[in-house]
Structure formats: structure tokens, C-alpha cells
């Protein structure tokens, strides 16, 4: 056992693993945790760790839904063997899988950036605030139902019509894939946020997103889409 490089396995685990000092300072992040830290802050993660820690030395596993941005987990494990350091292991929710035989009905190869830009310009005609767009222009063309997706975007944009500014970002999600008909594809994360968000049509928007096989997450002031990049 002494010849096994355990750090290699932890470093490359797809589940984030973090070690804190007893004052909450980061002492170690594996690769998955480094990616996660772009969507959460150290203080919040440390508070979660302490609130679910075992009363005595050892470990304690807790199953509950936890999300940071587009990252979702079904549980955590908090471990410590002395008073100097405490570890947190987060467990990813299972990879999404879509087997619907009618999935690609009405889908065509689409430049998602151009489709997004067209819908932003349409919304901007009646919007009085400022719109900031940050996107990855290297996102390749993907299969999508253009009319349904545009309808979804219009519904989401309407949640922010009364705001003074909107921030829109779109990028490829790192470290996670979606399985569609036994093939793995990247996930595109589209986030629309402001200082406030109208929530009265959340259920209708969620049903429209699910109809298009798009995962959707509602936050207090943001809506996040996870779009399968089917090519």
C-alpha cells in the first residue's frame, strides 16, 4: 500500500475535494474543486463543511441537494482526524442521460451564438436597461430546435424586463458531459442574471426547458440553462 500514489487518484477524481485549515483557509484543491471555486466562495464552502462535520474525529456523510451555479451535488462527506485540517468531498449528481427517440425532431445545426444574439437584439427593442454579454465564440455549431429555443429565451428575458441591467454569459461546462443516445456531448451553460428576477412564470419556463431536454436552474436573481451540445 505504501507504494500507491493516493494523491494521484484524489487529484483526478471527478468529485471535488477540498482541505481547509481550522481557520477556513484553503490548503488543498483537487482539479475538480479548482473548477468549482469559480462558482462559489471559500467562506460559504467552509461554513457548509463545519455545519455538517462529525462531532468527533472521523467522517460524516450527508445526503442532500446542493448546487453552486450549474454544479449540482447529491451529498457530501466531511472528514477530519485532527484539529488542524478538515476535508470536504462533494459528490456529483449522476450524468444526465437522454434516450428519447424523438429528440432531434425539428432540430437543425445551429450557431448558438448567432441565435442568442438575435434574441437579445429582439428583446433589446423594448428593454430600457443595459445588456452585457460574455460568450465563448469557439462554441461549435450544435443541433437545436431554433423556434422552441427562441421561445424559451423570450420567456426567460421577460423575467428581467423591469431591471436596469442584465448580464448574460455562455460557455462550455468543464468536467461534465451529457449522454444522448449512448453518445457523450459537451454541455453549454447559459446564464442570465440581474439584481432581481420575476418568478411568476418559473413553472411554465421549466416545462418549456424540459421539453427541449435542457436542464434549468432558478436562482434568486438568475436563470441558468444547461444545453446539450449535440453535434
Record the pTM.
0.64
Classify residue 84 as exposed, middle or buried by CB count within 10 Å of its CB (0-12, 13-18, 19+).
exposed
Write the secondary structure of 67-110 as one string of H (helix), E (strand) and C (coil): EECCEEEEEEEEEECCCCEEEEEEEECCCCEECCCCCCCCCEEE
∠ Cα 184 190 195 (to 5°): 155
Question: How far apart (Å, rounded) are the C-alpha atoms in residues 231 and 223?
Answer: 25
Q: Could you give the residue range(s) of every CATH 3.30.450.20 domain in the chain?
A: 6-92
CATH 3.30.565.10 matches 98-228: yes
Which residues of the chain form CATH 3.30.565.10? Answer: 98-228
The three grid cell numbers given for residue 144, joined into one nine-digit string: 437545436
The domain defined by 6-92 folds into Beta-Lactamase (3.30.450)
* Average pLDDT by stretches of 10, the chain with 231 residues: 81 91 94 84 93 94 83 90 94 66 75 95 94 91 92 95 94 74 81 92 89 84 88 79
**Which residues make beta-bridge pairs with 180?**
98, 183
pLDDT number for residue 177: 72
Q: What is the pLDDT of residues 16-66, one digit of tens each?
A: 999 999 999 999 999 889 888 877 889 999 999 999 999 999 999 999 888
Beta carbons of 215 and 96 less than 8 angstroms apart? yes
Amino acid at each position: 500500500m505504501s507504494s500507491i500514489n493516493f494523491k494521484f487518484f484524489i487529484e483526478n477524481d471527478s468529485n471535488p475535494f477540498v482541505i481547509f485549515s481550522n481557520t477556513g483557509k484553503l490548503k488543498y484543491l483537487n482539479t475538480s474543486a479548482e473548477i468549482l471555486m469559480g462558482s462559489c466562495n471559500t467562506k460559504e464552502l467552509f461554513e457548509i463543511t463545519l455545519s455538517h462535520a462529525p462531532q468527533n474525529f472521523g467522517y460524516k456523510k450527508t445526503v442532500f441537494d446542493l448546487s453552486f451555479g450549474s454544479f449540482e451535488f447529491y451529498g457530501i462527506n466531511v472528514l477530519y482526524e485532527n484539529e488542524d485540517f478538515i476535508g470536504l468531498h462533494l459528490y456529483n449528481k449522476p450524468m444526465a442521460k437522454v434516450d428519447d427517440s424523438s429528440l432531434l425532431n425539428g432540430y437543425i445545426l445551429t450557431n448558438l451564438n448567432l441565435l442568442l444574439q438575435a434574441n437579445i437584439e429582439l428583446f433589446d427593442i423594448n428593454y430600457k436597461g443595459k445588456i452585457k454579454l460574455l460568450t465563448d465564440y469557439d462554441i461549435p455549431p450544435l443541433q437545436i430546435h431554433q423556434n422552441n429555443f427562441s421561445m424559451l429565451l423570450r420567456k426567460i428575458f421577460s423575467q428581467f424586463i423591469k431591471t436596469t441591467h442584465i448580464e448574460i454569459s455562455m460557455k462550455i461546462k468543464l468536467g461534465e458531459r451529457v449522454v444522448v443516445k449512448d453518445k457523450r456531448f459537451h454541455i453549454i451553460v447559459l446564464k442570465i442574471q440581474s439584481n432581481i428576477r420575476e418568478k411568476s412564470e418559473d413553472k411554465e419556463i421549466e416545462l418549456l426547458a424540459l421539453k427541449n431536454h435542457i436542464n434549468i436552474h432558478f436562482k434568486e436573481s438568475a436563470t441558468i440553462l444547461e444545453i446539450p451540445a449535440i453535434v
